[in-house]
Amino acid sequence: MLDKPATKPAADEQPQLDLYGRKIRSRLLLGTARYPSPEILRKAITASGAEILTVSLRRESANEKSGQRFWDLVKTLDCHIMPNTAGCRTVKEAVTTAQMAREVFETSWIKLEVIANDDTLQPDLIGLVEAARILNEDGFDVFPYTTEDLGIAEKLAEAGCRVIMPWGSPIGSGKGLNNVFGLQTLRSYFPDFPLIIDAGIGAPSHAAAAMELGYDAILLNTAVAKAGEPVRMAAAFAKAIKAGRTAYESGLMEPRDMASPSTPVAGTPFALK
Amino acid sequence: MKIVLNGEPIDVDARTLGELCRMQGYGGAKIATAVNGQFVPERARATTRLSKTDHVEIVAPRQGG
């Protein structure tokens, strides 16, 4: 009988991610919207192992109370909260929303979105840089939702951002990584900068591919929330992201254009010498 | 006095933002406020006077991606 292999807690062995001074073990950041029920949301978060949750602020009548109930649920989960500025179309809207979020959620973290187009939810990159500068100077820890544009990433870094979050593809599209070359370039150019893929991830394989490129983490929402079974999908993403990270750290082989036999050629039977 | 609260025109008797929040039933709720696009922290609501046509936003936590 063979000895059992030693159990290795792979996730615990992976280096922690440092986001604005907070050490994060899970490289899956999870959105909290669009789940079938609060209970499924809670179970999906647990299954994902996520330590960071994104939330938002919205108008609410005094009688509605659903926001209060949601907040009561989130508080029980012992996760870091990353409020967003989703839906903001101008620098002023984004800055004001960030200031309101800082007070309500008692955090300096802000996922900064300045949206340019309703159909693609593409970020307004010019407004994004301006808002990022204002918020960084005001003491926020800014997580900017951007594209893979290298020039904009440089400007965001100059504006004080210490994390960059390029999209994989448009929010909620599930298209995965639309511009792998651009994402690789960004990773190469910012080798020591936390880079998080935010938006467009539709399948665990997309997330694993991003992690294999060397991205530090994945932020996703719809792919879990709108899955047939969100709790199981959350677990699937967690495994894919861990696998992708381990693969990146292990060093992927260089692709070749031609085949290369894996079985030794020397000693092949029936071959003429 | 007519103001716009969360995009809806309403008549209010409140003189300050703090009074408005209380009279609208937000007492004790986890909310944040802005007047005419400017953030008003909780500590300043009681001293922030409202004027007619002011646009007030009162927001609360919500699910987000």
Check CB contact under 8 Å for B59 and A57. yes
- A70 near B CB under 8 A: yes
B33, B42, B60 member nearest A68 (Cβ): B60
**Structure tokens given for A225:** 């929330």
Check CB contact under 8 Å for A101 and B34. no
Check CB contact under 8 Å for A58 and B42. no
B2: closest CA of chain A, how far (Å): 18
Residue A202 and residue A236 in contact, taking contact as beta carbons nearer than 8 Å: no
Check CB contact under 8 Å for A100 and B7. no
- Supply the DSSP string of A137-175, one letter for each residue: HTT-EEEEEE-S-HHHHHHHHHTT-S-BEE-SSSTT---
- In sequence order, the 6+-apart residues with CB closer than 8 A to the CB of B50 are B1, B3, B12, B14, B15, B16, B17, B20, B35, B56
Strands of the A165-166 sheet, one edge to the other: A109-112, A141-146, A165-166
**Structure tokens given for A154:** 């440089």
B41: chain A residues, CB-CB within 8 Å: 103
B59: chain A residues, CB-CB within 8 Å: 57-60, 100, 104
Check CB contact under 8 Å for B63 and A33. yes
Q: What's the pTM value of the predicted model, to 2 decimals?
A: 0.91
ipTM score: 0.96
Give the nearest chain B residue to A57 (CA atoms).
Answer: B61
Q: What is the pLDDT along chain A (273 residues), one digit of tens a residue?
A: 444 444 444 545 667 999 999 999 999 999 999 999 999 999 999 999 999 999 999 998 878 878 888 999 999 999 999 999 999 999 999 999 999 999 999 999 999 999 999 889 999 999 999 999 999 999 999 999 999 999 999 999 999 999 999 999 999 999 999 999 999 999 999 999 999 999 999 999 999 999 999 999 999 999 999 999 999 999 999 999 999 999 999 999 999 999 999 999 889 999 887
Q: Would you state the pLDDT for residue A11?
A: 47
Task: For residues A110 and A55, give the distance between their C-alpha atoms in angstroms, rounded to a whole number.
Answer: 10
Task: For residues A262 and A134, give the distance between their C-alpha atoms in angstroms, rounded to a whole number.
Answer: 56
Check CB contact under 8 Å for A62 and B24. yes
- Between chain A and chain B, the number of residue pairs with CB atoms below 8 A apart is 102
- A156 near B CB under 8 A: no
**What percentage of residues in chain B have a pLDDT greater than 90?**
95
Q: Give residues 16 to 55 of B whose Cβ lies within 8 Å of A.
A: 24-26, 29-34, 37-39, 41-42
Task: For residues A143 and A162, give the distance between their C-alpha atoms in angstroms, rounded to a whole number.
Answer: 8
A84 or B27: which carries more pLDDT confidence? A84
Tell me if residue A111 is catalytic. Answer: yes
Candidates A23, A43, A92, A111; catalytic one? A111
Residue A40: how many other CB atoms lie within 10 Å: 16
Q: Would you state the pLDDT for residue A13?
A: 60
Rg (CA), chain A: 21
Residue A247 and residue A211 in contact, taking contact as beta carbons nearer than 8 Å: yes
pLDDT exceeds 50 at position B1: yes
Check CB contact under 8 Å for B61 and A105. yes
Q: Would you state the pLDDT for residue A66?
A: 82
